[in-house]
Amino acid sequence: MTNNRKKGIRIAGTLFIILLCALGYWTYRSLNPTREQVQAAKARIEAYSCYEIRRNGKTMLRFDEDTTTLAATFMNRWALVPSCQGRLAASNNTDITRNRYQGLDADSVLVEKADSLDSLYKDSKWKESELAYYIHSHSVMDLGYNRICAFENREKVLRDSAKKMLDSLHHIQGKTPSDKSNQKDGKLVLVYLIKYKAFYTDENGKTRSEDCKLIQTNAEERKDRQYCHLFQLVSETTPDGIYGIAPRTAIGIVNLQGATHRDTINYEQRHDSLGYFSGNYDSLYQAEGYGTWMGHDGSYYEGEWKNGERNGWGFSIAPKKPLRVGEWKKDRYKGERLVYTSQRIYGIDISKYQHIKGRKRYQINWKKLRITHLGNISRKTVAGNVNYPIRFIYIKSTEGKSIVNPYYKKDYSAARAHGYKVGTYHFFSTRTPAVAQANHFLRHSCIRRGDFPPVLDLEPSHSQISKMGGPGVLFARVRTWLRLVERATGVKPILYISQIFVNRYLPAAPDLKHNYKIWIARYGEYKPDIHLVYWQLCPDGRVAGIHGAVDINVFNGYQDAFTKFSQNEVVR
């Protein structure tokens, strides 16, 4: 028995030693993975630097260097402002990032963030109004309509969340221990943090992302002046602290400048000092295909790219700047190109020149009116044959303080009798007083209930404007005419102007641009880049029943918008 016991002890000892060696080897291999394991475990690591404002150990506010990424807790409730896919990478210099708020107390930072968020909220409100204008005048038949509607929904969420966040921040500010009654709430403390997120491919070939932590940094500097960092996924850390599989690795600057990445670059996002791009790339790592750009200043572009530039269809919007939808070429906005179909709302404007050609006189055949051609002065994209009904007609009544269209009253009565929506316009003269012109227009025009708003046709040349005293004098007279006619008819008149006039003079009269509807004459292939109600797209169209060329106009919107306009924006 003694020998057997000794033999058993020797065997047990040997097995124990083998077990210890195996355990030691397993632990060594886990903590010191092979090259193959390291390569298989490689991941792209993004560093997220942020600050927290705490009171009594509880996080009241968390934010990064970009205010578009902001989250706060208050009274156990989260008020979250979406990051808009904000920056995830650390600042280009962690020390500078960390020092930005050094020396500031948490209350000062709170005020700064409240101001920044207030600007974000106001910007979102501006964007919402621009998007609402677009959606009002477009439909699913227009290219990119659904994408813009989706963006509008995201902006609404951003606006509502920003409002909730502002309320929370103001509540936090109201509870600062500036007065003795609130001393029990504790002092606000500012804390700096760095967090990491890993993007890697699992054993099934699927791309995954997960929070991770830095566990080791190689102290030996490499030739390329970079260091090797070891990161551990949160899910791969065992309770006793022994790593179950090889840690994920990433190569990066020791102070975490930017996002570290795999040897084969496969970014979904690319960051720089102005913002970030998210989308596809060509072999030269330039933006290619469909993608989005978000600037740190709040600007946004979504659409097609080529050679790193906006090229093709897309839309852009920025704080206090209009929404731009349409075609881009070599990073420059060209405009929105319409597709003309029978679903659009068309109209014409006429004067004595539709009746007089030299010594000949022509009548209008009101029963045959139909648009048959959209003119040749510019390229147009037409789906189907041009054989469109006419939905509205504007007729010239007067010019200056003495000229009258001899065919006006007859054409006005005929147009109404045949069921057309009718409007009347006046040609403005730079040589006569505005009051005399307004009275002349009202005296000789047949403006009745249900008519479309009267129009002031404003086509002065540069020399005429200079001769009368400049744009300031012109706009003063225009305001007088508009005010008198609005008072008499009960509806705001519409301004008819050219695209050149808009670009050169209208910025000097922002009140007219914002308070009055615009009818633009522009004969290019792209839609005018301004809020408008009508677009005169050609002066050389053809209409069955009318001799010679006719001005063709398109209403800025589809049937629903036209119905609302016909009900709400007419003479009472």
pLDDT on residue 255: 33
Model pLDDT, residue 89: 27
Identify the pLDDT of residue 235: 74
Mean pLDDT of the chain: 80
pLDDT at 442 over 60: yes
Calculated CA dihedral for residues 8, 10, 11, 14, nearest 10 degrees: 160
* Higher per-residue pLDDT: 83 or 491: 491
Read off the pLDDT of residues 336-380 as tens digits, 9 standing for 90 and up.
999 999 999 999 999 999 999 999 999 999 999 999 999 999 889
> Which of the four pLDDT bands, split at 50, 70 and 90, describes residue 91?
very low
Residue 25 and residue 17 in contact, taking contact as beta carbons nearer than 8 Å: no
Residue 271 confidence (pLDDT)? 75
Exposure letters 145-181 (e unless 16+ CB within 10 A, then b): eebbeebbeebeebbebbbbbbebbeebeeebeeeee
pLDDT band (50, 70, 90) for residue 452: very high
Helix spans in 238-353 (H): none
Amino acid letter, 497: I
Condensed to tens digits (0 to 9), the pLDDT of residues 293-308 reads 998 888 999 999 999 9
- Residues 6+ positions from 208 with CB-CB distance below 8 Å: 199, 200, 201, 202
pLDDT at 7: 67
What would the mean pLDDT of 100-121 be, rounded to a whole number?
74
Share of the chain above pLDDT 90, in %: 50
- Domains along the chain? 33-265 (no CATH), 267-336 (no CATH), 339-568 (3.20.20.80)
pLDDT band at 217 (very low <50, low <70, confident <90, very high): low
Residue 260 pLDDT grade (very low, low, confident, very high; cuts 50, 70, 90): very low
Average pLDDT of 275-290? 87
Residue 257 has pLDDT above 60, yes or no: no
Alpha-carbon distance values, 555 to 421, 518, 563 (Å)? 12, 11, 11
Q: What is the pLDDT of residue 157?
A: 86
Under 8 Å CB-to-CB from 278, ≥6 apart: which residues?
85, 268, 269, 270, 291, 292, 293, 294
Instruction: Find the mean pLDDT for residues 544-569.
Output: 96
Total residues belonging to the chain: 572
The CA-to-CA distance between both ends of the chain, in Å, stands at 120
pLDDT score at 252? 36
For residue 177, the model assigns a pLDDT of 52
Pairing of strands 248-252, 269-271: unpaired
Distances (CA, A) of 438 to 132, 441, 456: 34, 5, 10
Question: Between 185 and 388, where is the model more confident?
Answer: 388
Nearest to 551 by CA among 417, 394, 439: 394
**Cβ atoms of residues 286 and 267 within 8 Å:** no
pLDDT at residue number 85 = 29
What gap in Å lies between CA 152 and CA 156, rounded to an integer?
6
Confidence category of residue 281, pLDDT binned at 50, 70, 90: confident
Pick the closest to residue 483 from 437, 432, 552 (CA basis).
437
516-534 b/e with 16+ CB inside 10 Å = b? bbbbbbbeebbbbbbbbbb
